[in-house]
């Protein structure tokens, strides 16, 4: 298949990945209503076609959280990306660096922060969950600083792990008895290319950033159980004060949908926000990210940069978010599908595809600079 858009990469990823991994990255929570709304609400926003404007020079460069970026795009944190392709986070980091955009490494990455930083000269942002063990947290923050990272993306919308029916049906979560393990082995056997690339040559299959905190094992089988035991549901805005005792660089808060929470985050010291519903993987029935974006932008009134993630599937979607006040967008499933399909080359192709789509859409809306887009370009 020749991949022309994100849906094609999704189809390729579905062919290549064992079912339990594809369902993990493709699925949402409960009935997946919010996950669908993320896409549908973006696509429902109409752009104004404008003509007879000089669009011979289009500038897609911008600043994301104080740093220059070639595109108003960053790779969102994706857990277990090292299971989609051999040392997947490393491949994605190299593609992001070549495209001139940031990558946010998940706490739940297979490749450790140190491994990813060794593979790319551009500092990676680190996504952070609050873990009950504050001693481990201090050690992780020290490692992060030593690796040259200057931006923490604190994810606040996962105080508890949500209900994800697809993961139960696929055998990734729920009963892990003999029948479930046998089903997973058969699933892997039906995907020999993945088994050879990742299963055999992609080892170790561990969660590199948290392995030291998982004495019972840091592999896929222990993943969701460890998350349930160790993510801290008592987190409040006061925990940013604790972070500040051990981290002096930038803190961005990800997972804000409500304007009141946005105001509280800024008051607590957040230096950036990401409007996000965790890709529809947490509270089903919540607002889509794009529907929540304008009110959050208005609430913070330019005090901090605002990014958005959720449902971005094209360059048109990027422009829609920028027009509604986002400084940039994060792409998640888009790069995960591409990584699963074709590794680093797939991620690079998706970023180039988004760049081209943005250039075309800007020309047809009479725009020349992504830094000046506003609501006037929308119907």
Residues with a catalytic annotation lie at: 278
Q: In the chain, how long is the greatest CA-to-CA distance?
A: 67
The distance of Cα 113 from the centroid of its chain, to the nearest Å, equals: 16
What are the distances in angstroms from CA 37 to CA 281, 292, 325?
A: 12, 12, 19
Q: Would you call 233 exposed, middle or buried from its count of C-beta atoms within 10 A (0-12, 13-18, 19+)?
A: exposed
DSSP per residue, 179-198: HHHHHHHHHHHT-HHHIIII
Strand partners, 125: 104
Structure tokens at 333: 């499933």
CB 112 within 8 A of CB 208: yes
Pairing assessment for the beta strands 306-309 and 328-331 based on DSSP bridges? parallel
Classify residue 160 as exposed, middle or buried by CB count within 10 Å of its CB (0-12, 13-18, 19+).
Answer: exposed
> Pairing between strand 125-128 and 273-275?
unpaired
Q: DSSP strand E in the chain: where? A: 62-64, 67-69, 73-75, 104-105, 125-128, 151-155, 250-256, 273-275, 306-309, 328-331
Count the neighbouring beta carbons within 10 Å of the beta carbon of residue 217: 13
């Amino acid at each position: 298949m020749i991949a022309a858009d994100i849906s094609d990469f999704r189809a390729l990823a579905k062919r290549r990945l064992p079912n339990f991994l594809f369902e993990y990255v493709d699925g949402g929570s409960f009935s997946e209503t919010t996950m669908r709304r993320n896409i549908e609400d973006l696509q429902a926003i109409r752009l104004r076609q404008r003509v007879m404007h000089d669009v011979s020079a289009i500038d897609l460069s911008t600043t994301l959280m104080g740093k220059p970026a070639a595109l108003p795009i960053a790779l969102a944190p994706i857990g277990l990306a090292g299971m989609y392709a051999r040392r997947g986070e490393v491949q994605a980091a190299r593609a992001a660096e070549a495209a001139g955009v940031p990558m946010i490494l998940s706490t739940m990455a297979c490749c450790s922060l140190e491994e990813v930083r060794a593979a790319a000269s551009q500092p990676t942002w680190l996504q952070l969950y609050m873990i009950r063990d504050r001693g481990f947290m201090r050690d992780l923050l020290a490692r992060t600083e030593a690796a040259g990272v200057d931006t923490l993306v604190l994810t606040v919308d996962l105080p508890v792990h949500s209900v994800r029916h697809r993961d139960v049906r696929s055998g990734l979560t729920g009963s892990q008895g003999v029948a479930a393990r046998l089903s997973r082995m058969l699933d892997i056997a039906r995907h020999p290319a993945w088994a050879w690339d990742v299963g055999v040559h992609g080892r170790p299959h561990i969660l590199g950033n948290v392995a030291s905190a998982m004495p019972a094992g840091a592999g896929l089988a222990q993943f969701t159980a460890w998350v349930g035991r160790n993510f801290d549901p008592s987190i409040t805005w006061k925990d940013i004060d604790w972070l500040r005792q051990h981290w002096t660089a930038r803190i961005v808060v990800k997972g804000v949908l409500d304007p009141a929470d946005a105001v509280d985050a800024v008051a607590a010291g957040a230096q950036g926000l990401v409007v996000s519903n965790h890709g529809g993987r947490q509270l089903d029935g919540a607002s889509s990210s794009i529907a929540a974006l304008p009110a959050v932008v208005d609430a913070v009134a330019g005090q901090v940069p605002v990014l958005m993630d959720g449902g971005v599937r094209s360059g048109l979607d990027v422009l829609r978010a920028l027009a509604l006040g986002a400084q940039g967008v994060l792409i998640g499933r888009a790069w995960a599908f591409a990584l699963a399909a074709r590794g680093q080359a797939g991620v690079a192709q998706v970023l180039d595809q988004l760049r081209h789509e943005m250039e075309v859409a800007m020309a047809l809306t009479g725009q020349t600079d992504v830094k000046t887009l506003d609501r006037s370009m929308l119907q």
